[in-house]
Structure 1
Amino acid sequence: MTAFINRDNIAEIDPFVLWDHFETKQAARPVGLDYHGHSGVDTVSYPVAGNLKHIDSSGCQTTLQGGDIHVMTAGGGIIHKDTITPQNGNAETFQLWTALPADKGEMGDASSANYTTSRLPLVEETDSTTKVLIGSYRGTQSPVHYSIEMTYLDIIIAPYGVWNYQPDKNQTSGFIYLRSGIAYISGNQLHPCQMGILETSSQPIQIKTGNTGTRLFVVLGEPLNQPLISSGASVHSSKENLAIGKNRIAELMSTVKTCR
């Protein structure tokens, strides 16, 4: 597993507080984490190879197939466990976290929602196919309900192709992450498993490819402009809320231990 955003650099790309890419090609059995907790964040799980079984304290129990999206709003506290079952030894999943607004959501009720890949729209263009995971692209809207204004796109670009996009003027923070191939943006070259942090600009995003196609993610959002205090598992706008979230998680974990 490779984490590209953590508590040491979360202020750099507010409101995004975690981006994880997990991949294994020789898994003989299911892998995952037992019950653990979060608060103050939305988490987005996106498996692209293998199946992901999710159970959490909001009452959600579901299994995601490759290409599905799961959104878990931690609010004031939630615990969950995830188990990835490989297919032919392969498992790969991406996880994105965003902070919740301090004035609403940060200490709210926890919830979960699952969206199958068949519900997520594809936008076909001459050089590319864009899957709209969250937000909108070229007037096509994802059905995913989310706590903040953001755009999350999974993009395949053909060899010698060009992908252009004019972001929403308020979504001034974001990054590009390359899953495969090579991409060129603003004179920079990105290779697989590299992240490029976008600078604030009124200009469109333009991504080009060379003699190989590429698959990448573009993630954009409106900064919350609030303190981001992280314990690693939780992110809040104050130490007081972080402590409340920690206590709530401890209460939920004691319930799990009692039930075992």
Structure 2
Amino acid sequence: MTNLEQQPSETVCAPQTGGAPGGVQVLTPRDVPLGGIRAMTVRRTLPQRARSFIGAWCFLDHYGPDDVSVTGGMVVPPHPHTGLATVSWLFSGQIEHRDSLGTHALVRPGELNLMTAGRGIVHSEYSTPATTVLHGAQLWLALPAAEVGTAPAFAHHAPDPTTLPGAVLRVFLGSLVGVTSPVPWFTRVLGAEVVLDAGARLVLDVEPGFEHGVLVDSGQVQVAGTAGRPGELLYVAPGSPDLALAAGPDGARVLLLGGAPLGERIVMWWNFLGRSHEDVVAARAAWQGGIGAEPVGAGAGPDRFVPVPDDPHP
């Protein structure tokens, strides 16, 4: 998904201290319309002034459940990305993905689509005609500085559900409860969906060196004793070997994100992630100068961004 804010501002995201081990910080979302009058509104919890990162996770949009007959669904024509990976995770509906690598794939509920932009990629996303209710999350992972020039790539994974007492997990990145995703990443990260039964309490063994975030999708949940409501992101600082989740009377569904602190400063503008203002300026110039170009080299010049094959929109 592209960041379609009308007047995007350049944001410098720097590492932040997380407070005492075991402390929980509640991050509230802000509403951002994607598009024009018939915009689909998303709830954005990362980045914000209070926190820029959770591990390498640097961007989190949470949307729906949206009736696409009212919102128009997701219509995001070809657009560029650099220096990051997009992670798409759906709870309902389907999204059609195309990119400049020639990938044509569907994003389905409970399945991971991870697109690594590296030095530059172009992609599009459209909710499918069969979709009536669209509901999910779009996340970005920041590439470490040493890998920002890596080649673009695409990965898909449908994790099997793991049943625990009072909960079902799907681990789509990293490792949890002895389950490891086969999808590689450049830093140590964790991504999992957790569905909790009504009144369930779950204590998960986690990496004590990781910082964690729990995005509440539905229901009410307590994270290490701190209550969270739908749309909120609860941040847990590194230092604890376990993470306690407790669901309310209606159960809960959350996304659990984690990772070793990135420890780097990034600059983000629109869909470009760099390490300096100059990085962003160069990416913007390449995108504007390369629209409609054909691939002719290694991706450093005007061929850095090339068309998406067979896309219905310019």
TM-score normalised by structure 1 residue count:
0.88
The one-letter amino acid paired with 1:50 is G
* Cα pair 1:40 1:77 within 8 Å, conserved: yes
The unaligned stretches of length 5 or more in structure 2 are: 1-41, 294-306
SS of 1:224 mapped into structure 2: coil
1:239 matched residue in structure 2: 277
> How far 1:30 moved relative to its partner?
5.0
> How far 1:11 moved relative to its partner?
3.3
> 2-side partners of 1:126 and 1:196: how far apart?
23
1:182 matched residue in structure 2: 220
Query: Where in structure 2 are the equivalents of 1:92-131 lying within 5 Å?
Result: 92-103=135-146, 105-115=147-157, 117=158, 120-131=159-170
The one-letter amino acid paired with 1:160 is G
> 2-side partners of 1:78 and 1:250: how far apart?
14
The one-letter amino acid paired with 2:200 is G
> 2-side partners of 1:87 and 1:215: how far apart?
24
Number of equivalent positions: 254
Change in CA separation of 1:243 and 1:72 when aligned onto 2, cut-off 3 Å: same
The unaligned stretches of length 5 or more in structure 1 are: none
> How far 1:134 moved relative to its partner?
0.8
Query: Where in structure 2 are the equivalents of 1:64-79 lying within 5 Å?
Result: 64-79=107-122
The match for 1:17 among 35, 55, 58 is: 58
The match for 2:194 among 155, 179, 189 is: 155
The one-letter amino acid paired with 1:139 is G
The one-letter amino acid paired with 1:55 is R
* Cα pair 2:55 2:258 within 8 Å, conserved: no
> How far 1:164 moved relative to its partner?
1.2
Deviates more, 1:233-242 or 1:219-228: 233-242
2:297 matched residue in structure 1: none
**Identity, % of aligned positions:** 20
Deviates more, 1:231-240 or 1:243-252: 243-252
1:43 matched residue in structure 2: 86
TM-score normalised by structure 2 residue count:
0.74
Deviations 1:12-65 (A, max 9, x none): 535221001122432126532111111010110112211110111122111222
Deviates more, 1:238-247 or 1:46-55: 238-247
> How far 1:75 moved relative to its partner?
0.7
